[in-house]
Amino acid sequence: MKCAINRRAQFSASHRYWLPELSEAQNQQRFGECARAPGHGHNYVLYVSMAGDLDEYGMVLNLSDVKHVIKREVTAQLDFSYLNEVWSEFQETLPTTENLARVIWQRLAPYIPLVRIQLYEHPELWADYLGNGMEAFLTTSTHFSAAHRLALPDLSYEENCEIYGKCARPHGHGHNYHLEVTVKGEIDPRTGMTVELGALMKVIEDHIVEPFDHTFLNKDIPYFAKVVPTAENIAVYIREVLRQPIRELGVELYKIKLIESPNNSCEVYCTDALTDTVPQPQQEPVLASM
């Protein structure tokens, strides 16, 4: 019987985005604050996913053995290190989140049956690598606050209440929405990036956060004058708005996840098959005090 297992690890390290063939001004223009000397640091959270058949002891692998492999091959070497210098791979390609995930895969693959590396640089930025050459997934998250009312205009108040419950009340209600945007692309062999993060965040800010934040969606966003702004419909709308601007950055929009409340969230993909998905994180990363 096939089964997937996951192991969590963490390490603290610093890095700098800097290409010696570029001038100081060019590096700052391309990488922003990440080009500052001598660098900056993160508490990285790593999820290693493996798969295989259950053995006679009811295990895919002995997680104690997995723990020692991850420590020996990755965290003992990276913890409290300067990433640009610790591994030879980062002499050619910068230690971005997505490239670091790729190289960690390469370091672990000879020892354990990997299916995914997921690496959090911080709770609002992470990468998934599935072993497909230079292809990687990068996710960034943001938030906006908005109000909405769930009601179909052709139905009575009583009928809407039967469908939407309290959400049909005439003056609406609000949420602090949490938005996750996942893009898919090839890691640049020199910069280590699938996409320039600043440009991606600007697209999301300009097209979604700024127009949506502190609005009443039914009244302030024309699309929702006729479409009920459920979390699902909002996510679909965000997907369609972002698809082309993100493509113009050289990557493809892969997934939108909208968290309406701690109890409710939805996901929509830019692929037809929901089975073609990036495995989800095991939990929100918890950063240990150092």
Residues with a known catalytic role: 167, 214, 260
Q: How far is CA 275 from the centre of its chain?
A: 18
* Inter-axis angle of helices 197-204 and 231-247, nearest 10: 140
* 170 φ, ψ (degrees, to nearest 5): -65, -25
Number of H helices, E strands in the chain: 11, 10
User: Closest Cα to residue 287, out of 7, 10, 5?
Assistant: 10
Count the neighbouring beta carbons within 10 Å of the beta carbon of residue 103: 21
How far apart are the C-alpha atoms of 213 and 161, rounded to whole Å? Answer: 26
Burial class (CB in 10 A: 0-12, 13-18, 19+), 249: middle
